[in-house]
Amino acid sequence: MLLASKNEAGSSMIEVLVTLLVFTVGMLGLAALQLNALQGSSDSAQRSQTTWLLQDIAERIRANPEGTAAAYETAPDCTALPAKRCADFYNPATSAKVAAAQCSASEMAAFDHWESRCSYSAIATYNTINARFTSRDFINAPTGGASVSIANNGNVLTLQGFWLGKADNAKGTADQNSQTTAMRIQR
What residue type is 91 in one-letter code?
N
In a domain, 114, yes or no: yes
List, in sequence order, every residue forming a beta bridge with 162; answer none if it has no partner: 180
Please give the pLDDT value at position 174.
45
The number of distinct structural domains making up the chain is 1
In a domain, 164, yes or no: yes
Predicted TM-score (pTM) above 0.75: no
The stretch 147-162 carries a mean pLDDT of: 84
> Are 80 and 124 contacting, i.e. CB atoms less than 8 angstroms apart?
yes
Q: Which domain holds residue 104?
A: 21-186
In a domain, 8, yes or no: no
Long-range contact pairs involving 61-65 (C-beta distance under 8 Å, separation at least 24):
61/109, 61/112, 61/157, 61/185, 61/187, 62/185, 64/105, 64/108, 64/109, 64/112, 65/187
In a domain, 70, yes or no: yes
In a domain, 119, yes or no: yes
Evaluate if residue 96 carries a pLDDT over 90. no
The stretch 108-121 carries a mean pLDDT of: 84
In a domain, 12, yes or no: no
Residue 6 banded pLDDT, cuts 50, 70, 90: low
In a domain, 30, yes or no: yes
Please give the pLDDT value at position 95.
73
